[in-house]
Amino acid sequence: MLLLKNVDVFAPAPAGRADMLIAGGRIVRIEQDIRIAAGYCDTVDASALMAMPGLVDGHVHMTGGGGEGGYATRTPELVLSGAILGGVTTVVGCLGTDGVTRSLENLLAKARGLDEEGISTFIYTGYYGVPTATLTGSIERDLLLIDKVIGVGEVALSDHRSTQPTFDEIARLAAESRRGGILSGKAGVVNIHMGDGRRGLSMLRRILDETEIPPTQFLPTHINRNADLFAEGIAHAKAGGLVDFTTSSVPAFAEDGEVKCSRSLRLMLEAGVNVSQITFTSDGQGSLPLFDGEGRFERLGVGRVTSLFAAVREAVMDEGVPLETALQVVTSNPARILKLGGKGRLAAGADADVTLVDPATLEIRGVIARGRWMMRDGQLVVKGTFE
């Protein structure tokens, strides 16, 4: 058992100072002055720390991504410390542009490996292309038969790297994912990679106008890619849709009009969008390619899971967003939208995923995943198998 004494609890809503008792991988109690007999518990004075839920990163290329510049530009896999250093205890893996040399079988195995190393993982079936790759022959079967699969994606729209899917193809894909989600009790969401093409969100608008599929079936990401897409994202959210901002970036993206993630959150809130409709994801280990005006590859960066909490910190410290509001987009919101029970909150009965930070600097000082110390006093205490 582990007892955190007198910690400042953000659950993610502020709950004041309390003791937190952890046992069997779950939070057992959050109360004042919990007393456990000596020798039965690891008791830690946490009065100098703030406790928040372990972060949920809903879009990570666990097995690497990229390849837009040829084989040598395939990005590396996620290692355990890459998540822990960013306070992330739950990761949702996906494929991207490459659905051939990056396989779903490999993605599933990688997810199970990270589970064994100590964090919680889930995956999307599919990749950029439509019709999309699956493990069992269909999206619906993947959702029903494979525990780790919670939806489909990332499917590319408005991007020169997409397979240029038709309206009927996207509508059918979303319907199959919805049906599989309903039958399996999972989210069944469609994670949409939004490119910077001129069509923007028009495909999603048409599906919502012409079918019975609800707007919450889609989770379009990279909405902060440029000002035009961001403005469409505000309208989409006000119509009941969800929006996701990407925290990983490179300087060239800002030069091309990217709206900084922390600023995106402030602007969306000022525009009247409910924070419950917004999430941040890192695009960790994904390639961040730069193409010229004719679509020719120039260079790329690599996404980092550590950018997720960095963007939250910037939203609070630079943009004036309240901490409890900023935390929702990386904890309770993705956990609710993706139906990840036990995640994204600090409460009795929830999974013991806790990120501990210095309240003055919002620097991460400790990480507990499923009740186990992964980082303590600012130092990693658990690393991946080959780190």
Confidence (pLDDT) at 321? 97
Using pLDDT thresholds of 50, 70 and 90, give the confidence band for residue 222: very high
| 3-class secondary-structure state, position 186 | coil
How do 120-125 and 88-93 pair as beta strands? Answer: parallel
CA distances from 360 to 5, 302, 316 (A): 19, 30, 12
Average pLDDT of the residues in 37-59: 94
Average pLDDT of the residues in 352-374: 97
Return the C-alpha torsion angle 282, 83, 50, 222, nearest 10. 0
Using pLDDT thresholds of 50, 70 and 90, give the confidence band for residue 103: very high
Average pLDDT, the chain: 95
pLDDT digits (tens, 9 = 90+) for 282-317: 999 998 877 777 778 777 888 999 999 999 999 999
Same fold, 2-52+343-380 and 54-337: no
Confidence (pLDDT) at 181? 97
Average pLDDT of the residues in 16-41: 93
More confident residue, 168 or 301: 168
Estimate to the nearest angstrom the gap between the alpha carbon of 204 and the chain centroid. Answer: 21
Range list of H helices, 152-226: 167-184, 202-210
Average pLDDT of the residues in 142-169: 96
Q: Do residues 259 and 268 touch, judged by C-beta distance below 8 A? A: no
Q: What is the C-alpha separation between 301 and 320, in angstroms, rounded?
A: 29
pLDDT at 34 over 90: yes
Which residues form the catalytic set? 283
The CATH code that applies to domain 54-337 is 3.20.20.140
Q: What is the C-alpha separation between 180 and 3, in angstroms, rounded?
A: 40
Using pLDDT thresholds of 50, 70 and 90, give the confidence band for residue 210: very high
Q: What is the C-alpha separation between 244 and 242, in angstroms, rounded?
A: 7
Confidence (pLDDT) at 52? 98
| 3-class secondary-structure state, position 94 | coil
- Residue 351 gets the label, from left (phi > 0), alpha (psi -120 to 50) or beta, of beta
More confident residue, 306 or 254: 306
**pTM, 2 dp:** 0.95
Confidence (pLDDT) at 351? 98
Residue carrying structure tokens 């250093």 = 85
Confidence (pLDDT) at 194? 95
Confidence (pLDDT) at 155? 96
Tell me what percent of the residues of the chain surpass a pLDDT of 70: 100
Average pLDDT of the residues in 17-32: 97
Average pLDDT of the residues in 206-218: 95
Confidence (pLDDT) at 385? 95
pLDDT at 180 over 90: yes
pLDDT digits (tens, 9 = 90+) for 56-69: 999 999 999 888 88
pLDDT at 8 over 90: yes
The residue extents of the domains of the chain are: 2-52+343-380, 54-337
Confidence (pLDDT) at 109? 98
Q: Which of 145-154, 202-211, 243-252, 352-361 has the lowest mean pLDDT?
A: 243-252
- Domain spanning 2-52+343-380: CATH 2.130.10.10: no
Q: What is the C-alpha separation between 387 and 385, in angstroms, rounded?
A: 6
Q: Which of 45-49, 154-158, 231-235, 291-295 has the lowest mean pLDDT?
A: 291-295
Confidence (pLDDT) at 250? 76
Please state, as a whole number, how many other Cβ atoms lie within 10 Å of the Cβ of residue 291: 17
Confidence (pLDDT) at 296? 80
> Cα(first)–Cα(last) distance of the chain, in Å?
27
